Amino acid sequence: MNPYQELFKKQLNHYSVIGATTAKERITKLKALKKALEFDYRDSIKEALYNDFKKPHLDTDLTEIYPVISEIKLAIQKLHSWMEPQPVKTPLSLFGANSWIQYQSKGVCLIISPWNFPVNLTFGPLVSAIAAGNTVILKPSEHTPNTSKLMERIVKSIFKEEEVAVVLGGVEVSTALLELPFHHIFFTGSPKVGKIVMKAASENLSSITLELGGKSPTIVDATANLKRAAKRIAWAKFLNAGQICIAPDYLFVEEKVKEPFLKHLKEQIDRFYDSNTGESSSYCRIVNQAHHQRLKGAIEHALSLGDQLVIGGETAKDNYISPTVIDSISEDSKLMQEEIFGPILPVKTYHKIEEVIQYVNKGERPLALYIYSKNNKSIKQIIAQTRAGSSCINNSIIQYSNHHLPFGGVNNSGIGSSHGFYGFKSFSSERSLMRQYGWGPLDFIIPPYNKFKKKLVAITLKWL
Ligand code: NAD
């Protein structure tokens, strides 16, 4: 028997109760979660993340706690209106009826999350699931054991397990959970595992949201403010040591500005970390040895192909890799074959923007695509001729923190979206509703058909 069958059954017996809760009741739960994150457990979260991969406390406040709190604040503010019936038009041919959409909870949901922003990417979707009135089983990552254990404690302090429960463990646990007929599965992780999740979901026809990853191109043209672009790209690439799904993965710089741009990039990196990243309290580590080895191997592979190391390249035993920039990157390099997910930035150059568009369109559709430019024509052309989950012009990553925008990918980088109303929608079914008052059209065109009814149908076809 599946080890999680009992827990699943408890939630199955309970989901309709939770689904029938009012906005006020759901808001009470969201406030309890907000209090836990903002006050009761804030210091413990910082400590756990520091112990897991030396995440700086300020980064934890900014990239783990703040996004969940801001998600909660928006849900508290908007939940009454999201839950309201949404009236829609009814055509004249259906006279005597009115129509509306009612968002209803999906039921019993599974949230599987990754290790790179464990709190944000576990509790963020949980906020949407609670707002939509679901019961939830959370399966956080095994690679951040301190944080995952703490999240279990936090959830236990607020919820009964028939409403929200945390299950800890790795692949075997995930695999067992995926056998159960959840009403919705919300998965954040790699495209490779996303395919496994989608296959498992198909067995039960569970609906899915897949928040995946991939290579996010970053384009810098000659019209860009190079110093500012370098600062923002350095921040976005080396925050969390590059372990961010929407970090700039590789750079495409217009050939004639490559040299000054790389000079600014180096200056910015030195400024961020006082020219001594290894000792800096503002820089974290790679999550574990396996990923450290993978990234170290990718740098060595690139250099063996003759690619040029222009910044960094240092590694140390405590899973440290310095901010690294590699120029003239070859296509055969491992760095260009797979998502980097680490503090290594390969650089390519171009002469015409069409070369970049062609290159991007040859690969998988990115989760994010960034453009640093003042040339509106070129910006429009890139957006019109490529596809990506999100784009930010003259900055990177910050589009994620606007919860009025949907967050998600396309195809290989994801299916569906999260954040704000879009997260609420992902965890809801849109139930179509119609109510007939008095006479309706069918009352006039039921058999037996006669000349009058044929005429009515002809009028309907032509005019209504
Ligand atoms: P991962 O896919 O290896 O693991 C994610 C989760 O899936 C973990 O909880 C893990 O235990 C589970 N899992 C792993 N293998 C499994 C299997 N065979 N069957 C079932 N479950 C399995 O991802 P990761 O290494 O934790 O995170 C990095 C990846 O996640 C990157 O590709 C990154 O781009 C992506 N990511 C995407 C987003 C987003 O919002 N789109 C955010 C963060 C990370």
Instruction: List the residue whose alpha carbon is closest to atom 14 of ligand 1.
Output: 171
Average pLDDT over residues 306-310: 94
Question: Which helix (H) or strand (E) segment is 39 a member of?
Answer: none
* Cβ of 121 less than 6 Å from ligand 1: yes
Termini Cα distance of the chain: 57
Average pLDDT over residues 223-244: 98
Residue 112 φ then ψ, to 5°: -110, 130
Active site residues: 211, 245
At the topology level, CATH places domain 5-212+413-431 in: Aldehyde Dehydrogenase; Chain A, domain 1 (3.40.605)
Average pLDDT over residues 14-43: 98
Contact 314, 321 (CB under 8 A): yes
User: Within 13 Å, how many C-alpha atoms sit on residue 435's CB side?
Assistant: 7
Confidence of residue 87 (pLDDT cuts 50, 70, 90): very high
Which mutation among 53, 167, 174, 405 tests ligand 1's pocket best, with the greatest number of atoms within 8 A of CB?
Answer: 174
Q: How far apart are CA 145 and CA 154, in angstroms?
A: 14
- Structure confidence at residue 317 (pLDDT): 87
* Cβ of 245 less than 6 Å from ligand 1: yes
What strands lie across the sheet with 86-88, from one edge to the other? Answer: 86-88, 97-105, 428-436
- Structure confidence at residue 274 (pLDDT): 84
- Structure confidence at residue 464 (pLDDT): 84
| pTM score of the predicted model | 0.97
Q: Is the pLDDT of residue 182 over 90?
A: yes
Ligand 1 closest atom vs CA 246: 34
Q: Is the pLDDT of residue 245 over 90?
A: yes
Q: How far apart are CA 129 and CA 19, in angstroms?
A: 10
* Cβ of 201 less than 6 Å from ligand 1: no
pLDDT cut 90: percent of the chain above it: 97
CATH number for the segment(s) 217-403: 3.40.309.10
Which mutation among 110, 111, 193 tests ligand 1's pocket best, with the greatest number of atoms within 8 A of CB?
Answer: 193
Q: How far apart are CA 71 and CA 176, in angstroms?
A: 30
Cis ω before 448 (30° cut-off from 0): yes
Nearest CA-CA partner of 99 in 83, 85, 80, 79:
85
Ligand 1 closest atom vs CA 189: 30
Average pLDDT over residues 169-183: 98
What integer best gives the mean pLDDT of the chain?
A: 97
Q: How far apart are CA 409 and CA 395, in angstroms?
A: 18
Domain-by-domain residue ranges, the chain? 5-212+413-431, 217-403
Q: Is the pLDDT of residue 275 over 90?
A: no
Q: What residues have CB less than 8 Å from 28, skipping those under 6 apart?
A: none
When mean pLDDT is compared across 244-248, 281-285, 440-444, the lowest value belongs to: 440-444
User: Within 13 Å, how many C-alpha atoms sit on residue 137's CB side?
Assistant: 28
397 alpha carbon – ligand 1 mean position (Å): 19
Q: Where are the beta strands (DSSP E) in 132-270?
A: 135-139, 164-166, 184-188, 207-211, 217-220, 250-254
Q: What residues have CB less than 8 Å from 6, skipping those under 6 apart?
A: none
